[in-house]
Amino acid sequence: MKFVCLAVVIYGVAIGQNPTAKVTFDVVSIKPGPPGTMMELIRSGAIQYRVGDTRADMGSITLSELIYTAYRMPWDVVGPPWLKDQQFDIHATFPAGATKEQFPEMLQSMLADRFRLVIHREQRVLPVDAMTVAKDGPKFRKSAAEDSVQCNGGFHKTCKKVTMEELARLLSVDPARMPFRASIPGVLDRPVADMTGLKGEYDFFLDYGVVGGGRGVDPTGKEIVTAFDAVKALGLKLEPTKHAFEVIVIDHIEKVPTENQP
């Protein structure tokens, strides 16, 4: 039995497991994903993540990604390397009456049934980057009521109706291995915790990219700034600290899922 700690900020009942009223996929197929490097899988189109109204199709998705999505974790899984290395192709149909908003709950059921996932929760102090308001205050505006939620544009994003909590989640995610946030460049190697105290939804331009202190260029040749510079441009700042969170601890998980049923 291996113990794997998964850092997670709890979002209400989103991560709850209710054994008396669980929603499960009607049909689900799990097969090993194709071999290849990350770039080879991206170029071949093997990596995919589509959740519609009646089904979900995921290609070359890892267990860490599945757990992230099922429990709506704000950052990547901390655990043994195989959680990130074991890739699967998963095709699932929803039961009658289910909605895509229940997709995380269905994933929880699948992980318990097919990978024998067992978890518990506890408090742990974790290293994070605290996102706070800089001395001169925030440099973005509150969203208008007619705005629609979006955060599009690859390495140079136009974001609307985004909360500070969501911004912290975006900065925490590695897009190369996280289809749930596949279009978002991962720029930090530790979680970002929203400590701005700012409530509500905001519009802003987010220009960011590479890990660490270096810079790079995107596929168009435009410079990608660091997360620290990008956050500074918004009138915010990131500072390393430690913070207590309720975390999910994996008590048991199987490396290989149970067989598909005909």
Q: Residue 237: exposed, middle, or buried by beta-carbon count in 10 A (0-12, 13-18, 19+)? A: middle
In this predicted structure, what is the pLDDT of residue 190?
A: 75
Candidates 25, 85, 31, 91; CA nearest to 58 is: 91
What separation in angstroms does the CA of 46 have from each of 32, 42, 58, 154? 12, 6, 9, 20
- The residues, any chain, with a CB within 8 Å of residue 145's CB and separated by 6 or more, are none
In this predicted structure, what is the pLDDT of residue 108?
A: 94
Candidates 65, 61, 67, 21; CA nearest to 41 is: 61
In this predicted structure, what is the pLDDT of residue 246?
A: 73
pLDDT digit string (tens) for the chain, length 262 residues = 333 333 333 333 333 444 446 899 999 999 998 887 766 776 777 878 888 889 999 998 888 888 878 887 655 556 677 877 788 999 999 999 999 889 999 999 999 999 999 887 778 888 888 999 999 999 998 888 776 667 765 567 788 888 898 888 778 754 333 433 333 344 466 778 899 999 989 999 887 654 333 455 555 565 666 778 889 999 999 999 998 877 777 888 999 999 887 6
